Chain A
Amino acid sequence: MSPRKSILLRRIAVVVCGAILVGGCASTPRNPDDPLEGYNRAMFAFNENLDKVLVKPVAQVYDAVTPKPVQTGVGNFFSNLADPWIGLNNLLQGKPAEALSDWMRFMVNSVFGIFGLLDIASEAKLPKHDEDFGQTLAVWGVGEGAYFVLPFFGPRTVRDAAVLPLDLAGDEGWRPTHVPTRNSLRALDIAHTRATLLGADRALEESTFDKYIYVRDFYLQQRRYKIHDGNPPVEYEDFNGAVLPGQAPRWADVAAVAAVARLELVEPVVAAVHKSPGFEYE
Chain B
Amino acid sequence: MKKFVLACCFLFSVLPVSAGLTPPDQLVRSVTDEVLGIVRQDPDIQHGNADKVITLVEEKVLPHFDFRRMTMLAVGRDWRDASPAQQTRLTDAFRTLLVRTYSNALTQYRDQTIAFLPLRAAPTDTTVQVRTEVRQPGAQPIAIDYVLERTDAGWKVFDVIVAGVSLVTNYRGTFSQEVRRSGIDGLIATLERRNNELAGKAAR
Chain A residue numbers with a CB within 8 Å of B25 are none
Q: A31 touching B198 by the CB < 8 A rule? A: no
B164 in contact (CB, < 8 A): yes
Within B159-173, the residues touching A (CB, 8 Å) are: 159, 163-166, 169-173
Min distance, Cβ A257 to any Cβ of chain B, angstroms: 13
Greatest chain A CB density within 10 A among B140, B158, B165, B173 is at B173
Q: A239 touching B77 by the CB < 8 A rule? A: yes
Min distance, Cβ A206 to any Cβ of chain B, angstroms: 6
B2 in contact (CB, < 8 A): no
Within A232-251, the residues touching B (CB, 8 Å) are: 232, 234, 236-243, 250
CA distance A214 to B169 in the complex (A): 10
On whether A72 and B77 interact (CB within 8 A), knowing A214-B173, A236-B127, the answer reads: no
A252 in contact (CB, < 8 A): no
Contacting B77 at CB < 8 Å: which of A128, A203, A221, A250?
A: A250
Q: A71 touching B180 by the CB < 8 A rule? A: no
A183 in contact (CB, < 8 A): no
The proximity string for B residues 143-176 relative to A, scoring 1 for CB distances below 8 Å and 0 otherwise, is: 1000100000000001100011110011111100
The proximity string for A residues 29-40 relative to B, scoring 1 for CB distances below 8 Å and 0 otherwise, is: 101010000000
Min distance, Cβ B145 to any Cβ of chain A, angstroms: 10
Q: B75 touching A221 by the CB < 8 A rule? A: no
Measured as residues with beta carbon below 8 angstroms from the partner, the interface class of chain A is 35 or more
Q: A221 touching B173 by the CB < 8 A rule? A: no
Contacting A75 at CB < 8 Å: which of B138, B147, B191?
A: B138
CA distance A155 to B57 in the complex (A): 33
Q: A243 touching B80 by the CB < 8 A rule? A: yes
B46 in contact (CB, < 8 A): no
Chain B residue numbers with a CB within 8 Å of A199 are 108
Min distance, Cβ B106 to any Cβ of chain A, angstroms: 10
A132 in contact (CB, < 8 A): no
User: Which of B3-11, B12-20, B33-41, B96-104 is found at the contact surface with chain A?
Assistant: B96-104
Identify the 3 closest CB pairs spanning chains A and B, nearest first. Answer: A225-B164, A72-B138, A239-B79
Q: Name 24 interchain pairs, CB-CB below 8 A, sorted by A.
A: A29-B181, A72-B138, A202-B104, A206-B104, A206-B198, A207-B98, A209-B174, A209-B178, A209-B190, A213-B173, A214-B171, A214-B174, A216-B173, A217-B170, A217-B172, A221-B164, A221-B165, A225-B163, A234-B166, A236-B73, A236-B147, A236-B158, A239-B75, A243-B80
Q: Which residues of B contact A (CB under 8 A)?
A: 72-73, 75-77, 79-80, 97-98, 100-101, 104-105, 108, 127, 137-140, 143, 147, 158-159, 163-166, 169-174, 177-178, 180-181, 190-191, 194, 198
